[in-house]
Amino acid sequence: MRGSSVIDADGSGEIAGYRPVSALAMAAAVSGAVSTLALTGPVFWVLPLVGVALSCAALFDVGRPGAPKAGRLAALAGLALALGFGMQAVATAATAEWLSRGRAETAARFWLDAVVAGRHDDATGMCGPDAVEAVDRVAACGSAAPARVRCGGRDEETGGRVVHAVVGDCAFEVVITALPPQRAGEPERLTITRCTAVTPSAS
């Protein structure tokens, strides 16, 4: 018989050159493939971390001296998949966050410019029911262009973006919410949900 079918001289019945497959390597490969779920949301970001941990453990397992096991390629594949999907998920989320903040700042600046320029229809057209009355408060702060518009975190009540804005000597917190499109193919619409005065002069 040839190589792999030769029986050991001690009669143990083991095939010469046979190496058992590492269970950790198989688990690492599966975990790496499942890491694709990380692209669906932060709640699944733990999967690539598990995949990396399993892959590192598997590489140690198959490389132990005196107890060689098969599965190195599976462990490396699992590691590559876990790292790839993990980094892609984080990069995608970071890009979406950056775009969301930029759109909120642009919408707030456009609204404030409309208010201070006296374009009442444009300003009120961007407002939700609870923000219409804020147009007059912002307009009363003067005709100076907004000195600062900076996007903050999320509003706990609406989930919209909180934008910190200054008009003249008045400071406001503007909450901007993205409404779903009314018809297919239309972009979502950004609406001023609430505008809260921060300084007493803006009340």
Q: Is 103 exposed, middle or buried (0-12, 13-18, 19+ CB in 10 A)?
A: middle
Between residues 2 and 83, the one the model is more confident about: 83
User: What is the extent of the structural domain holding 23?
Assistant: 3-95
Q: Are residues 107 and 197 in the same domain?
A: yes
pLDDT band at 75 (very low <50, low <70, confident <90, very high): very high
Q: How many beta carbons lie within 10 A of that of residue 114, not counting itself?
A: 20
Against a cut of 0.85, is the pTM above it?
no
Mean pLDDT of the chain: 85
Measured torsion, CA atoms of residues 37, 153, 178, 115, in degrees rounded to the nearest 10: -160
Q: Are residues 195 and 119 in the same domain?
A: yes
Q: Are residues 113 and 197 in the same domain?
A: yes
Q: Are residues 77 and 153 in the same domain?
A: no
Domain boundary among 63, 78, 95: 95
pLDDT tens digits for range 102-126: 999 999 999 998 888 888 899 999 9
Q: Are residues 45 and 119 in the same domain?
A: no
Q: Are residues 89 and 128 in the same domain?
A: no
Q: Are residues 181 and 119 in the same domain?
A: yes
Is a pLDDT exceeding 80 seen at residue 90?
Answer: yes
Between residues 97 and 201, the one the model is more confident about: 97
Which tokens sit at 43? 């709640």
Please, are residues 70 and 62 in contact by the beta-carbon 8 Å criterion?
A: yes
User: Would you state the pLDDT for residue 47?
Assistant: 96
Q: Are residues 67 and 137 in the same domain?
A: no
User: Would you state the pLDDT for residue 32?
Assistant: 95
Domain boundary among 72, 95, 118: 95
The helix/strand/coil state of 149 is strand
Domain boundary among 55, 75, 95: 95
User: Would you state the pLDDT for residue 3?
Assistant: 39
Count of structural domains, the chain: 2
- DSSP secondary structure letters along 88-144: HHHHHHHHHHHHHHHHHHHHHHHHHHHHHTT-HHHHHHTB-TTTTTHHHHHHTT-SP
Is a pLDDT exceeding 50 seen at residue 4?
Answer: no
pLDDT tens digits for range 154-191: 988 888 999 999 888 889 999 999 887 667 666 678 89
pLDDT tens digits for range 24-36: 999 999 999 999 9
pLDDT tens digits for range 54-71: 999 999 999 888 778 889
Q: Are residues 103 and 198 in the same domain?
A: yes
Q: Are residues 178 and 160 in the same domain?
A: yes
Q: Are residues 42 and 62 in the same domain?
A: yes
82-111 average pLDDT score: 93
Q: Are residues 80 and 112 in the same domain?
A: no
